[in-house]
Amino acid sequence: MSNLELCRAIVREGFEVLSESLSEGRAEFLLGLPRWGDLRGSLGRLYPRLTSLGCLPALQRDSRGLVLYVLERRERDNVLTNLALALVTFFTVFLSGLALSRASETIEGAGGIAWSPLAYALGLLAPLILHELGHWSFMKFYGTPASLPYLVPAPPLQLGFLGTFGAVINLRWLPPSADALSVMAIAGPLAGYLAALPLAFYGLYTSVPAAELPEGTISLNLVPLSFVLMYSLLHGQGGYILLSSLAFASYVVFFVTFLNLIPIATLDGGHVIRGVAGARAHYIVSRAFIVGLVLLAIINPNFFLFALLALLLFFLTGGKHPGPAMMLEGSARVSLLVAVLYGVLFVLTLPLPV
């Protein structure tokens, strides 16, 4: 018996099936009354049982009623690829850390573990990995097919990059419900931010205040609110600070976290808005945010990168979000919790012009 036939049996176990059609790798069911309790509970139980067998379900409502489409597709992870990319990424990030460490040799008061290449690698990669593991753990919890996290290498700092383009997960199917969509989305930025917070604090603690910037130093014109608050607590108001390697890595993590929280298309912020507030709100908020970013970039060119990335992503995706696979809307309690966490993270990582 093929997986699709097993999945057909599961659908018929959970629902009265009014009609069905099967073809190679695909099935369509017109659903009647649920057999496992109410409709929401039955669909919630059905989804992980199907995805565990490599069957990808999608529920739609048309003139006939509720129609469940099931596609048979199973993708396997190549762990060796993940490991190889991780090793290459660690190497390129470590090279970037070497550049920062050598530059610090000319700075009076610099030194110690926070200025080392290893500190830069740890401060950058650990939160990025935990960010993706935050997503991945809830994908597994909800039964949503997804790949293992991939680290993406980039040229090192010596060539004008940071050593990595970040980490990604290949989401192989839509999550089952609006709750699952929003929880999976916020779990990544929350995990990454919490991991970066103590590293940033120690990195700023070991950074060196300066009356003026040494020649050749790059000035950071946009600083996340978390950095501003920690700097004020540790070093008081005013003046320059020369960031340790660990502090700079944390700065990058906060910056990337904010980019992910932008409420556009299928970024984490877009997932949250779609899951918490629905398709109409996602449509309005994403477009309003792009307009706001463009206007902000006109006023302050430091925001040009944000506006450019938002526009590119919007045009690449059409600004659309497919929503949950099973058309299950979110609960008020989960939506409120995710909305509060999203708002707090958005504000704490908000880049401020300095």
Give the pTM: 0.92
Q: Which residues pair with 55 in a beta bridge?
A: 72
Cα 221 from chain centroid (whole Å): 24
pLDDT along the chain (354 residues), means of 10: 88 94 91 91 94 94 93 86 95 93 73 90 96 96 94 92 92 94 97 96 89 68 91 79 92 94 91 94 92 92 87 83 90 94 97 86
Cα dihedral value 269, 272, 277, 282, nearest 10: 40
| Contact criterion met (CB below 8 Å) for 193 and 155 | no
- Classify burial at 298, counting beta carbons within 10 Å of its beta carbon; exposed 0-12, middle 13-18, buried 19 or more: exposed
Rounded to whole angstroms, the Cα distance separating 199 from 124 reads: 10
Closest CA to 325 of 180, 186, 184, 187: 180
Domain limits, CATH 3.90.1070, in the chain:
3-72
The pLDDT value recorded for residue 250 is 95
Sign of the CA dihedral running 265, 267, 271, 276 = negative
The pLDDT value recorded for residue 215 is 64
The pLDDT value recorded for residue 212 is 66
The pLDDT value recorded for residue 2 is 80
The pLDDT value recorded for residue 73 is 83
Rounded to whole angstroms, the Cα distance separating 123 from 127 reads: 7
| Contact criterion met (CB below 8 Å) for 3 and 72 | yes
- Classify burial at 227, counting beta carbons within 10 Å of its beta carbon; exposed 0-12, middle 13-18, buried 19 or more: buried
User: Residue 279 has which token pair?
Assistant: 């398709």
| Contact criterion met (CB below 8 Å) for 192 and 130 | yes
Residue found by looking up tokens 């993406």 in the block: 152
Rounded to whole angstroms, the Cα distance separating 9 from 328 reads: 22
| Contact criterion met (CB below 8 Å) for 121 and 94 | yes
Residue found by looking up tokens 């307009």 in the block: 291
Helices (H) and strands (E) in the chain, counts: 11, 10
Fold of 3-72: Hypothetical Protein Ta0175; Chain: A, domain 2 (3.90.1070)
